[in-house]
Amino acid sequence: MPQLNLPEDLRHRILLSMYRTADELDWEFLGNPGKTAQYRRWFDDPGIGGELRNFASDKDVRVWFKDVPMKEYARAQEGIGNFVPYVQRRFRGADEIVQGLCGSSWKVIPESVEGKPNHCRAVDGDSTRYVCWGRSGRLSDLIWASVNEALDASVRPGIVVTTRDGETVNQRERERHVRLAEHCGVDLIHLHRSMIDNPDLLALS
């Protein structure tokens, strides 16, 4: 993975510009042809690709687009990782997930929030619980992570299958998800989320 040695102000400006465009395109719903076309536009843009080619080869710039900012984009929308300050809009974070699954008395342990898959630990008094979440296409990863946790857990792990505006999971799929989770000894709910303006958005002077 190329690590471009960019001036900080240039890096901030490029990331803000790329993520603003990704937000406008609804990147997570964009098909591969659309993403490929946008990568080409970024590469050809004098203010993005043109600037980056002053610090790296054409090949490294193209790889950097995919393996650095856009690899982190979905995590940033979840409020996870170092790229959070660049997304225009994001989800409310792990607190919304945990309280949707466990109830309002459960609190997220902040330093436990991580990705691959998105997960955290929550506490309520002396009880600690593993919670992971993601879209239905990641269910196999969520099940596997939860089953591994269930082996040593005193409280059943939980899975939250998330949807966002413009996305649904039909009733038959929902029922099957719950049955799979029950079979594996973990809890599962479905949660629809809406995005909010990013309170941590970086403002350039």
Total-model pTM? 0.90
Q: Is 157 exposed, middle or buried (0-12, 13-18, 19+ CB in 10 A)?
A: buried
Give the residue from 108, 83, 71, 78 showing the smallest Cα distance to 193.
78
pLDDT, residue 4, reads: 81
pLDDT, residue 2, reads: 63
- For residues 143 and 130, what is the distance between their CA atoms, to the nearest angstrom? 12
Tens of pLDDT, residue by residue over 57-91, are 999 999 999 999 999 999 999 999 999 999 999 99
- For residues 155 and 158, what is the distance between their CA atoms, to the nearest angstrom? 9
Q: Is the peptide bond before 117 cis (omega within 30 degrees of 0)?
A: yes
Ordered per-residue pLDDT tens for the chain, 205 residues: 567 889 999 999 999 999 999 999 999 999 999 999 999 999 999 999 999 999 999 999 999 999 999 999 999 999 999 999 999 999 999 999 999 999 999 999 999 999 899 999 999 999 999 999 999 999 999 999 999 998 888 899 999 999 998 899 999 999 999 999 999 999 999 999 999 999 999 987 5
| Token representation of residue 31 | 């098909």
pLDDT, residue 55, reads: 94
